[in-house]
Chain A
Amino acid sequence: MAKLLIKGGRVISPAQKLDDICDILVEDGKIAAIGKSLDAKAAQVIDASGKVVTPGLVDIHVHLRDPGLEYKEDIASGTLSAVTGGFTSVACMPNTQPVNDNHTITSYILNKAAKEGHCRVFPIASISKGLEGESMTEMGELKQHGVYAVSDDGKPVSNPQLMRRAMEYAKPFGMVIISHAEDLDLVGSGVMNDGPVATELGLKGIPWVAEDAATAREVMLSEFTGARLHVAHVSTKGSIEIVRQAKARGVAVTCEAAPHHFTLTDEAVRGYNTNAKMNPPLRSAEDMAAVRQGIADGTVDAIATDHAPHHIDEKNVEFAIAMNGIVGLETALPLSLKLVEDGVIDLPRAIALLTNGPAAALNLPVGGLVEGGEADITVIDPEFAWTVDAQKLASKSKNTPFDGWQMKGAALHTIVAGKVVFSRS
């Protein structure tokens, strides 16, 4: 395999506490060397001077919709969207049709990703069979087939006894439990954040307590069982505080925040904008500030997109009946870099939230730059100015609330296992 030399970039790999101007030499899909003034004859050279070179970005919350919902997205289009956004690894949620609740579906996803995918895919299996919340999946066998974490994302486990048993069972297998923390009884028939905007628009509200009560339950069950808990898309002030306190007590909990939750508030719903409809919903300005604070103080371990492609027909309807979710893979990097511009975090911390942070949350073997290790690398131009055009997204679906937004920062090259899988022209 050809050699690749990435020259003169600011190499930031928080996992290795590396932040220096240096070169990276890639050979046979592996990182052969990281150092100053590397030279390699017959190597393809990427001039990264003035750019930032990081471990390939990792998104641990993606819906690839494959199998079964390929009209929204499939493994090829979803991973193309990922590499366009600078991601070299994605973990995909199990709410496919059929549900990824057994090793056959897991293997289907892995095989298809190996054949048609543009980046690494880590399938997340469900906690309960068929996402029905009644009995748990064969987590031991799933683990053997490459599953690192389980989640009933989108259809959270209501029964606390099942969640307790799932945690107890998952723990010895080293399986991480990802919770979409929402109390469905408190959600009721709500369709947006409960608050003054919902009152004004006459839309039913989802109160913050629906998330906080569930987050508190999951944290307590994790504390009780000792199982590794990862809380998905934390969106409320209260949930951030619950996780913060749990971490201080030493509970084995991590959490993620989605770019839309640290960028937008429920004001975005005005005009009945169905591309501002997701679950958990866009919250108040106070909640958004708390999520940003959680990102700044280390409570939040990872930025994850909750990339949720939906067909135009599922969004071009009355707000109350529109599907929940937005695509996020291609806008996550600039929205995360905006946190740096806003002074919330510094650049290395932003990179950590997109690389070793998410990888560690699910124990994924990616997210760093080590000699001899897999060459998953993203070359980022933090100053690259561009405008989001939903119709030009690589994803099959165009449901983004950021259409027309001016962005700063983009992946110039995305490299998976030493191969340049995406270059921005």
Chain B
Amino acid sequence: MSFKHKHILGIEQLSKEDIQLILDTGDAFKEVNSRDLKKVPTLRGKTIINAFFEASTRTRLSFEIAGKRLSSDTVNISGSTSSVVKGETLEDTAKNIEAMAPDIIVIRHAHSGAPHYLAERVNCSVVNAGDGAHEHPSQALLDLMTMREHKGSIEGLEVAIIGDITHSRVARSDIYALSKMGAKVRLCGPGTMLPVGIERLGNVEVFTDMRAAIKDADVVMMLRIQLERQSNIMLPSLREYARFYGLNPTNIQLAKPDAIVMHPGPMNRGVEISSVVADGVQNVILDQVENGVAVRMALLYLVSGVESMQTT
């Protein structure tokens, strides 16, 4: 095994070979998830803390299941139950968690850079489960695993990512991952949601017309419009957003006939994606969720640096 990373802070730090290894490892673990007894002893005796300082259902559940299927002891803390609400600093929280000797801390945090901050201050591994608008590496990896599954290879794919790019850590991690693996990324969103310099992150072309962005695309990925985050300063209305930046049965026909439709969830049906498309034959959205468990098993396994996969 040639995986050298103690922490997974972002895709930016990973090489093409690293990503390849993670995806291959994910493929191998995927089989475990279809067994009757969904458990391997790989991380027996290891303690994993899922420290979710920002609300999450899917990602936290996915990391927890991944840890449990590897036989580790997983413990969850969340923002609302942690000492954060009592005014403790992140450093003190980190030191207290560390004093209980975990092997891996999986962190989700509203502030960009929080996992890096943690990694500088603890001895155990840190896995970023989403930090602010910075990165969401495990999401990008499950996206790539799903694309590879359906398209055979990532290289040469035309991937359209549509929505609020400014606030999206998923978009940033996907841009890094897809560019490293030789795919092309087309970004599109309202003028208020296309951040300056985003094209410098990788093999990126920025579009303002969604139809041009999805024309002949192999993959169309719709980002969630964060209803709770939007003020009327960013968008005039969700109705108008759906009209210009929503995926529907008409504009999906501009993509390649065998294009797949992805969404990191949770979806706002009728806003960024119509139900007909979300439930249509091209959608692989639940494959993404399924692969999420496998790829997170791969990440936890690889950062823990144990010698053998012991998948049998």
B-binding residues in A (CB < 8 A): 194-205, 271-272, 313, 316-321
Known: A201-B113, A202-B135. A318 touches B197 (CB 8 A): no
A199 contacts which of B113, B116, B131, B195 (Cβ < 8 Å)?
Answer: B195
Sorted nearest first, the 8 A-B pairs with minimum C-beta distance are A196-B197, A202-B134, A272-B113, A202-B133, A202-B112, A318-B111, A199-B195, A320-B111
Chain B residues in 8 Å Cβ range of A271: 116
B196 contacts which of A194, A204, A316 (Cβ < 8 Å)?
Answer: A194
Chain B residues in 8 Å Cβ range of A201: 112-113, 134
B111-A196 in contact (CB<8A): no
Residue on A with the closest CB to B233? A188
B196-A272 in contact (CB<8A): no
Chain B residues in 8 Å Cβ range of A316: 89, 91
Render B73-91 as a binary contact track against A, CB cut-off 8 A, 1 for contact.
0000000000000000111
Within 8 A of A (CB), among B242-278: none
Chain B interface, DSSP helix/strand/loop, else mixed: mixed
The number of inter-chain residue pairs (CB within 8 angstroms) is 65
Tell me, yes or no, whether B122 is within 8 Å of chain A by CB: no
Q: In angstroms, how far is the closest chain B Cβ from the Cβ of A242?
A: 21
Chain A residues in 8 Å Cβ range of B172: 200, 202
Residue on A with the closest CB to B166? A199
Residue on B with the closest CB to A207? B196
A-binding residues in B (CB < 8 A): 89-91, 109, 111-114, 116-117, 131-135, 169, 172, 195-198, 200-201
A202-B197 in contact (CB<8A): no
Question: Whole-angstrom distance between the alpha carbons of A196 and B204 in the complex?
Answer: 14
Known: A199-B201, A272-B117. A205 touches B196 (CB 8 A): yes
Most chain B beta-carbon neighbours within 10 Å: one of A200, A202, A316, A317 = A202
A196 contacts which of B114, B133, B135, B200 (Cβ < 8 Å)?
Answer: B200
Residue on B with the closest CB to A321? B111
Q: In angstroms, how far is the closest chain B Cβ from the Cβ of A85?
A: 30
Q: In angstroms, how far is the closest chain A Cβ from the Cβ of B96?
A: 16
Question: Whole-angstrom distance between the alpha carbons of A316 and B118 in the complex?
Answer: 11
Question: Whole-angstrom distance between the alpha carbons of A199 and B91 in the complex?
Answer: 25
Other A-B contacts than A202-B112, A272-B117, 6 sampled, CB-CB below 8 A, are A195-B196, A197-B197, A200-B172, A202-B113, A202-B131, A272-B113
Chain A residues in 8 Å Cβ range of B198: 196, 199
Q: In angstroms, how far is the closest chain B Cβ from the Cβ of A1?
A: 51
Q: In angstroms, how far is the closest chain B Cβ from the Cβ of A285?
A: 13
Chain B residues in 8 Å Cβ range of A200: 172, 197, 200-201
Residue on A with the closest CB to B91? A316
Chain B residues in 8 Å Cβ range of A205: 195-196
Known: A201-B134, A202-B169, A202-B172. A318 touches B113 (CB 8 A): yes
Question: Whole-angstrom distance between the alpha carbons of A202 and B135 in the complex?
Answer: 8
Most chain A beta-carbon neighbours within 10 Å: one of B117, B131, B135 = B117
Question: Whole-angstrom distance between the alpha carbons of A200 and B204 in the complex?
Answer: 13
B112-A195 in contact (CB<8A): no
15 intermolecular pairs with C-beta atoms under 8 Å apart: A196-B197, A196-B198, A199-B197, A199-B201, A200-B197, A201-B113, A201-B134, A202-B169, A203-B134, A204-B133, A271-B116, A317-B90, A317-B91, A318-B117, A321-B111
Question: Whole-angstrom distance between the alpha carbons of A316 and B109 in the complex?
Answer: 16
B196-A318 in contact (CB<8A): no
